[in-house]
Amino acid sequence: MSVQKIILYPDPVLKKVCRPVRDLDEEILGLIRDLVDTMRSGPGSVGVAAPQIGITLRVCVVDVSGSKLGKNSNHGLLVMVNPEIIESDGTAVMREGCMSVPDYTGDVERATGVTIRFTDEHNRVRVLETSGFEAVAVQHEMDHLDGLLFLDRISSLKTGLFRRKNYK
């Protein structure tokens, strides 16, 4: 389909809890194509969620395979419709950024491993175990579906938020 414009914070659509997808029809498949195209067009992007392009449905995509942090441990392109975390373990703090908050990064504590259940673009229910950077990216994108930004997970905006030097 096409690259879509990213909605920027503080747009209220980013704070909305998204509705579940009922049917994987042509409209949803088009949304998935738009999300993949938009993710691949973003500088350093490893994921994007539907609300970031103004659609309040529970759909997101993640692909960390092109990132130095995820290239050795990933499942390739993950298209996730109605994803849910069914198990998590460990915690670590990692620096995160977001296309919807382009001028800042922040230190966020997340699970180091998550097991997720979702429907893929072929209408198959999948259960996957993810770890490391891929697990962080999955949690970040799934947060968008619940109206949360990484800014909401920073324990101290004074010490855990950083102005981005360059976003290209």
Amino acid found at 144: H
141 in active site: yes
What 8-state DSSP symbol labels residue 19? B
User: Residue 6 is encoded by which pair of tokens?
Assistant: 């990213």
Residue 68 makes CB contacts below 8 A (sequence gap 6+) with: none
Q: Are 89 and 116 in contact (CB under 8 A)?
A: no
Catalytic residue among 96, 121, 134, 141, which?
A: 141
* Residue-wise DSSP of 65-120: TTSTTTTTS--S-EEEEEEEEEEEE--EEEEEEETTEEEEEEEEEE-SEEEEEEE-
User: Residue 23 is encoded by which pair of tokens?
Assistant: 């049917």
Active-site positions read: 141
